[in-house]
A and B are shown apart, each in its own frame.
Chain A
Amino acid sequence: MIDFSTAPELELLRDTAARFASDHLRGNAREHESARGVTDAAARAWRDTGLGLLEFPGENGGAGLGALARVLVNEELGAADPGATLALDSSATGLYVSAIHPAQRVVVVCDLESRLTVAGGRLSGSLPWVPADEPAVVAVLSREGAAVAGAPKVLEILRGSGLRAAGASAVNLDGVEVLSQWSDRAAAATALARVRLYTASLLLGVMREACEYSRAYAVDRVVFGRPVAHHQGMAFMIADMAMAVEACRLLLHEAAWKLDRGDSDAAAVCARAFVEACEQSMFVTPSALQLLGGHGFMQDHPVEKFMREARTLSLMAGGVDAARDDGGAALVEAARVEVARTGGS
């Protein structure tokens, strides 16, 4: 039976995330960005929420929750500061790849084009950017499986385009020892789906915040004798932005719901939601900046940051083209077998 309501326990979880985001992230976003990390107070408050153990299994002290919980929480965190979220929630995506310790700073690299190699128990290759200054663990997720390695050699600390609160560095992996490794295409596809969902739900939060901030500004700011938002060209853009956010949210919730159920098409549906989030974020966040005009370009307002965060997030999780490949391949494969000429479900 179709039901869009959220279970009360998930609502509580979302409220917790929203409260933490308001109390510790949103107001400190610029400070976290320039510090390349979060304040100690924010880190302590984060630990107190227990959100860092959201998906970790119960025997490891985690909450053992699933993808839908993740999407609801990440929308709230992403809305406040996705970079700080990556810094705080340091091992969340690592969990999708391996039984990683919750406190470790893990960088998951979705290496879908075999840029890195594993031979003789060691990695080789380099990465022009990872969202951390000094990652303790690099987990390389490929189409075939995963390899978890120790700390890479940091070649350069980078400014980073977006997500600066997470830190940024160029790393070399030559000779880094592989600590654990597995091969399983199906498991790799599921892990990739989870990483995509994690990233896309942060993007959703960024989009929502960009929408709301620019909407409020456009109602307040008067140009040519009336609020910016009351010029129809702007009003329609605001409507389209809100529509994009809601459509994206529904696709993400559907993907999470399918992932939690273990549906056979869950990975393809996650890829679809990721592509939507990436595409729409590049409509929503530049439009938000546009609504503020010159002010939007200045760092006095957060919309320029929203745009940078969105662009950077949508480069992660193996990139949008790989996700487009996966969604399209599933569709085309189904068509080859038989075009579904029956309907609704």
Chain B
Amino acid sequence: MDLELDRQSRDRVTMLAALGRDTLRPLGLEADRLGRPIPADHEFFASLVELGQGRTRWRPGHGSGGRESGQEAGRTGGTLAMICAVEEMSYWDRGVAVAFPGPGMGEAAIMGMGTEDQKQRFLGPFVEPDRPRWGSFAMTEPGAGSDTSAISTSCRRDGDDWILNGAKMFIGNASRADWIMVWATVDRKQGRGGHRAFVVEKGTPGLGNFKIEKKMGLKAYESTSFTLEDCCVPAANLLGGEQYYQSREGTRGALRTFNAMRPMVAAMAVGMGRAAQDEALIFARDNGLLDRTRVRDRFERIDRRLAAARLLAWKAAWLADKQLPNITEASMAKALAPAVALEAASLGMELLGETGARGDHLVEKLFRDAKAMDIVEGTGQVQRVIIARQLVDLPRS
């Protein structure tokens, strides 16, 4: 057993802390004040690319599906390394962290399911990006959130193409993305078995009506709705090719993505909770509240629960890196961390009192930001359903 971060992860966290203090947090506060996402042409994104951010983990010419291997993978690609990085970025501003350029959530699916040609075409531009580039991942629909099996965006084969029809919503970075990984169904009755993933490239006819949503918090990145109206996508953009789905691997591919993501979202929540805790501690210290037992006991609870949430996220990520089943652990981390983050922010608001009511304190922003974490990647209730399926074989209907 060892619970100490390796040197490279520590260095990366230190680097991100400096970036966070100088840039992420000020940008996040500005976006919150202005009530709009950071524009795609903001110089911050260009500077990130120059710093080597916004790149893919995929490397052309490597074996085992193009994954990095050995030391290099440990440096940049492991789930544990990733969650340490996202926790730190979220500490400074989770909204700005999500706005970072890069292939996003679709990357893992392309690396896991994509053909060599697809990896080259869609991840290739992210190897050494010439400018800020985004990939986007579109599962959620107006009628299908956590219940991804209920998506109704349809796809039907038409010669060498597929025709997509439907609507997606709450999709991160969609309007600025080079491509959007759109999940559709050949037959709703088949549930996840009918799902197909398409890489829909920017400018594809029929892809449009982009609308950036107005949110309670996390305003620095765009959550966008869009429509697909007889959107004609080449068969070459069907992720993994037709054969992949005939072996019914498609469903598992999507779920695998989510299993890697849940610890990631948990780590983000831990970062936000820590930020709220630290800001509340500063306020309590500066206002002479630290000697109050009631105040101190609440901090003790927040600190303890954050530590537990972080360990759960680490354990789930460690299992993922070991290619061991982590369904239960990932859901536990995802169920716990957001609740603790909100509790931390809410405690901060209580301490601030009327200062919190002004609406211009970081703790108040975190209070609004943190709530979303209990919703994205499956609500806390969905996580409990998943855990219960593992523990007591809870029926699906």
Contact = CB atoms under 8 A, between A and B. Distances in A.
B296 interface: yes
Given A219-B393, A242-B332, A344-B13, A257 B285 contact: no
A307 interface: no
Contacts of A343: 13-14, 16-17, 20, 87-88, 91, 271, 274
A331 B311 CA distance: 18
Interface in A197-242: 215, 218-219, 227, 229-230, 232, 235-236, 238-240, 242
B314 A336 contact: no
B299 A235 contact: no
A331 B300 contact: yes
A6 B319 CA distance: 13
A229 B388 contact: yes
B392 A227 contact: yes
A157 interface: no
Interface stretch (A128-136, A184-192, A247-255): A247-255
Contacts of B312: 243, 246-247, 250
A41 interface: no
Contacts of B5: 1-2, 344-345
Contacts of A232: 385, 388, 394
B285 A327 contact: no
A196 interface: no
Interface centre among B80, B391, B393 (most CB of A within 10 A): B391
A243 B336 contact: yes
A235 B300 contact: no
Contacts of B282: 335, 339
A247 B336 contact: yes
B335 interface: yes
A276 B301 CA distance: 9
A242 B1 contact: no
B394 A250 contact: no
A153 B66 CA distance: 74
B290 interface: yes
Interface string B288-329: 001000001101100110011101101100110000000011
Contacts of A68: 1
Nearest to B319: A4
Interface string B1-38: 11111100110011011001100000000000000000
A254 B3 contact: yes
A236 B388 contact: yes
A324 interface: yes
B278 interface: yes
Nearest to A229: B392
B395 interface: yes
Contacts of B20: 343
Contact of A275 (B284, B304, B332, B388): B304
B186 interface: no
A239 B278 contact: no
A7 B16 CA distance: 33
B290 A335 contact: yes
B381 interface: yes
A327 B290 contact: no
A340 interface: yes
A341 to B, nearest CB: 7
B4 A1 contact: yes
Nearest to A276: B304
A70 to B, nearest CB: 13
B127 interface: no
A248 B271 CA distance: 20
Contact of A239 (B84, B290, B388): B388
A328 B1 contact: no
B235 interface: no
B391 A3 contact: no
Interface residues on B, range: 35 or more
Contacts of A257: 1-3
Contacts of A155: none
A336 B336 CA distance: 28
Contact of B395 (A215, A230, A339): A230
Interface in A16-40: none
A264 interface: no
A236 B384 contact: yes
A280 to B, nearest CB: 9
B284 A335 contact: yes
B4 A218 contact: no
B387 interface: yes
A164 interface: no
A299 interface: no
A1 B2 contact: yes
Contacts of B311: 247, 250-251, 254
Given A243-B336, A247-B311, A336-B290, A327 B304 contact: yes
A315 interface: no
A178 B88 CA distance: 53
Contacts of B98: none
A245 B158 CA distance: 53
A12 interface: no
B1 A253 contact: yes
B278 A339 contact: yes
B281 interface: yes
A215 B393 CA distance: 11
A105 interface: no
Interface in A251-296: 251, 253-254, 257-258, 269, 272, 275-276
A241 B84 CA distance: 27
A179 interface: no
Contacts of B332: 242-243, 246-247
A239 B21 contact: no
A277 B278 CA distance: 25
A215 B391 contact: yes
B84 A276 contact: no
B284 to A, nearest CB: 7
A327 B318 contact: no
Contact of B392 (A1, A238, A251, A336): A238
Contacts of B17: 341-343
B10 A345 contact: yes
Given A215-B391, A327-B300, 13 more contacts: A2-B80, A6-B1, A232-B385, A232-B394, A239-B387, A258-B3, A272-B307, A275-B300, A276-B304, A332-B299, A335-B290, A342-B13, A343-B87
21 contacts: A3-B318, A7-B1, A235-B392, A235-B394, A239-B383, A239-B388, A247-B336, A251-B311, A253-B1, A258-B3, A272-B307, A327-B300, A328-B297, A328-B300, A332-B299, A335-B299, A340-B278, A342-B17, A344-B13, A344-B88, A345-B4
List 8 A-B pairs, minimum CB-CB distance, nearest first: A328-B300, A229-B392, A235-B388, A250-B311, A239-B387, A247-B308, A328-B296, A343-B88
